A and B are shown apart, each in its own frame.
Chain A
Amino acid sequence: MLNTIDQIFIKAKQIILDILSPFLPEWMMILISIFIVIVTLCVFGPVVMMYLTLLERKFIGRMQNRYGPNRCGIFGLLQPLSDGIKMFTKEDIVPQKADPFAHFLGPITVIIPSLLVFSVIPFGRNMIPSDLSIGILFFFAVASTSTLWIFTAAWGSRNKFSLLGGMRAVAQMVSYEIPMLLSIVPALLVVGSFSTVAIVNAQEGLQWFVFTPWGLVGFILFFLTGVAEVNRCPFDLPEGESEIIAGFHTEYSGMKFALFYMAEYMNAFSVSALVTTVYLGGWQGPILPSWLWFFAKTFVLISIMMWFRGTFPRMRVDQLMGFAWRGLLPLAFINLLAAALWVHLSFPLNDILSFCILTVSVLMIYVANRKVAPKKRIYKYAYE
């Protein structure tokens, strides 16, 4: 019974294929089995995005002592649909001075990487769209292209605020990509494979990487850099509305704006899903079906992102850069060293040693980055 619920989506796909198989030739069946996965992903992404917007509005509403949307349907469940209709029917404005090619290309190409990265995320036991041998690397490679397209959109708008937002986006995403890549290297070192399935299988039976010293640090690093990489609070400088209107999507309206919005939420989901996969054990967990574990962990991480948004003020540009280059990057390197020692040594010694190294280095980085305020000068003789 439990096994059936665990594999329910695989079974559903198999049933569809079984119904169709008497009527169609073999090559058609292969195409259809691929097609089912692609359609599922292409529907799943936007639906997740729509309900994430609703969840976020409700969540932040409660934090600010109000209800959030509750007029459309029960609990406001139809609100995303009405938002979608509004977006579709809005006029699509292209500024006169804008570069039409780049202005058109930006939103379309931003959405493609955020859909593509879903293909290497293991949603449950046997539920991965394609188990590439370079899964993790594929995720980072595809996700890193979105920098260029955001800048294309910003440049094509021919607007100072757009350009400022685009430049901020490029600077931020390039800076945070380095600690982000380094923060998953310890997990790859322990597992010895790029495949996301192999990483999840290595965390069998509550041996999640987050329970080891290097795993805890890696988890925090990866989650923080991930939040920065998808431009969410408190790292949402590229679209800081109190400074530069709406950043790189100032000049977009209607469906093109909706595409940016969609890409942002889908990226938030996929980054949370990858953090879950690499450090929180993916779909591993007792009793409950695997996909339920996966979504529960992912939504906990997304809720933490929303909590950040509800409570943290936005960072300054210099704070943002300093945090990446002086705080996260050295810690990521030291974490790599700690993980290597952890693999090399045997059980009681490895935990203790890596814990000590990481504690000392976190303290040292904190002390080295401490704000040195000059001492208040006391004038001894001035008033005599």
Chain B
Amino acid sequence: MTLFQFLATTAFYAAMLGILIAAALCVTVRNLFHSAVFLAFTLIGIAMLYFFLQAEFIAAMQILLYVGAIMTLIVFAVMLTSRMGNPAVPQSFKNKKIVFLPLGLVGFILISAILKTPWETSEPQTAVNAVTLGKALMNQYVFPFEVVSLVLLVALIGAIVIARSE
């Protein structure tokens, strides 16, 4: 193993650990604005994972759309709905322990299934770049692409209609 591979592998696992910490803080902190900031850190970390997994285009999309656009929406919602000045009210339900029952069940099933499956991996020969993505999007996936654009349009109009004040 060369030095670069070692460094890259170490950085990959470090990024995973960082993402898990940021996500755990995101779902547990009381202040909702801090939670949104930790969500931004989680999303940036995931974009770094995409870079490591050689999906550069998706990494750029992740930062551009999630951190640039969706986070702005969430932060605005936090700002508009928070009661500025009041001491922080509890943000979770009182009987939190009962949540761990479905959580443990789902986690047990998922992880045992992952560990039991024999994964027959093989490295793909061709690297995926923006050109191949665009070609696939315009040939094989052209119908889903159009449907998604329609969904976006509907969501746009719907959001405006719902959030509009009379």
Are A and B interaction partners?
yes
Query: Which A positions have Cβ atoms within 8 angstroms of B?
Result: 27, 30, 99, 101-102, 105, 132-134, 137-138, 140-142, 144-145, 147-148, 151-152, 155, 163, 170, 174, 177, 192, 194
User: Contact partner of B56 among A30, A133, A148, CB < 8 A?
Assistant: A133
Q: A141's contact among B31, B64, B71, B130, by CB below 8 Å, is which? A: B64
Interface size on B, residues (CB 8 A): 27
Q: Report B-chain residues with C-beta under 8 Å of the C-beta of A148.
A: 40, 67-68, 71-72, 75
User: Which residues 64-78 of B have a CB within 8 angstroms of A?
Assistant: 64, 67-69, 71-72, 75-76
Q: Which 4 A-B pairs have the closest CB atoms?
A: A144-B68, A141-B63, A137-B60, A27-B3
- Determine which of B3, B63, B76 lies in contact with A30 in the assembled complex, contact meaning CB atoms within 8 Å: B3
Instruction: Tell me which residues across on chain A come within 8 A of B91, comparing CB atoms.
Output: none
- List A contacts of B64 (CB < 8 A): 137, 140-141, 144
Q: Does B119 contact A (CB under 8 A)?
A: no
- Tell me which residues across on chain B come within 8 A of A105, comparing CB atoms: 37
- In the complex, A192 Cα to B131 Cα: how many Å? 8
Check if B68 sits within 8 Å of A147, measured CB to CB: yes
Q: What residues of chain A lie closer than 8 Å to B31, measured between beta carbons?
A: 99
Shortest beta-carbon distance from B21 to chain A in Å: 15
Q: Chain A's interface: helix, strand, loop or mixed, by majority?
A: helix
Determine if B130 and A145 form an interchain contact, defined as CB atoms under 8 angstroms apart.
no
Given contacts A27-B3, A141-B68, A194-B130, contact A151 B63 (CB under 8 A): no
> Do A137 and B57 have beta carbons less than 8 Å apart?
yes
Other-chain residue from A30, A142, A152, A192 in contact with B4 (beta carbon distance below 8 A): A30
Of B33, B63, B131, the residue contacting A142 (CB under 8 A) is: B63
Supply 11 further A-B pairs (C-beta < 8 A) apart from A132-B56, A133-B130: A30-B3, A99-B31, A101-B37, A102-B33, A105-B37, A137-B61, A138-B60, A140-B60, A145-B68, A148-B71, A170-B76
A312 CB to closest chain B CB (Å) equals: 27
**Which one of A134, A145, A151, A163 lies within 8 Å of B57 (CB-CB)?**
A134
Contacts A30-B3, A102-B34, A137-B57: A155 and B68 contacting too (C-beta < 8 A)?
no
Contacts of A134 in B (CB 8 A): 56-57, 59-60, 130
Q: Which residues of A contact B72 (CB under 8 A)?
A: 147-148, 151, 170, 174
B138 close to chain A: CB less than 8 A: no
Chain A nearest CB, measured from B147 CB (Å): 22
Contact residues in A for B28 (Cβ distance below 8 Å): none
**B63 and A144 within 8 A (CB):** yes
Measured CB to CB, the closest approach of chain B to A62, in angstroms, equals 38
Min CB gap B73→A, angstroms: 10
Q: Could you say which residues of chain B place their CB within 8 Å of the CB of A133?
A: 56, 129-130
Given the known inter-chain contacts A132-B56, A134-B130, A194-B130, please indicate yes or no for A144 contacting B37, CB distance below 8 A. Answer: no
B39-88 contacts to A, CB under 8 A, are 40, 44, 56-57, 59-61, 63-64, 67-69, 71-72, 75-76, 79
Q: A141 to chain B: which residues have CB within 8 Å?
A: 59-61, 63-64, 67-68
Shortest Cβ distance from residue B76 to the other chain A in the assembled complex, whole angstroms: 7
27 pairs of residues in contact across A and B, judged by CB atoms under 8 Å: A27-B2, A99-B31, A101-B34, A102-B37, A133-B56, A133-B129, A134-B57, A134-B59, A141-B59, A141-B63, A144-B64, A144-B67, A145-B44, A145-B68, A147-B68, A148-B40, A148-B68, A151-B72, A151-B75, A152-B37, A155-B79, A170-B72, A170-B76, A174-B69, A174-B72, A177-B68, A194-B130
Residue of B nearest to A27 (CB): B3
Nearest chain A CB to B100's CB is how many angstroms away?
28
**Chain A: minimal CB distance from B159 (Å):** 14
With known contacts A105-B37, A174-B69, A145–B63 Cβ distance under 8 A? yes
Contacts of A102 in B (CB 8 A): 33-34, 37
Contact indicator A145/B67 (Cβ below 8 Å): yes
| Minimal Cβ-Cβ distance residue in A for B79 | A155
Q: How far is the CA of A134 from the CA of B128 in the complex (A)?
A: 12
How long is the Cα–Cα vector from A27 to B130 in the complex, in angstroms?
Answer: 32
- How far is it, in angstroms, between the C-alpha of A87 and the C-alpha of B3 when the chains are bound? 41
Residues on A with C-beta less than 8 A from B37 are 101-102, 105, 152
Bound: A137/B130 CA distance, A: 11
Separation in Å of the B146 CB from the closest CB of chain A? 19
Q: How far is the CA of A145 from the CA of B72 in the complex (A)?
A: 9
Q: Give the chain B neighbours of A132 by CB distance below 8 A.
A: 56
A155-B69 contact, Cβ under 8 Å, with A133-B56, A133-B130? no
When chains A and B are docked, how far (Å) is the Cα of A138 from the Cα of B4? 23
Q: Say how far B78's CB is from chain A's closest CB, in angstroms.
A: 9
- Shortest Cβ gap from B74 to chain A (Å): 10
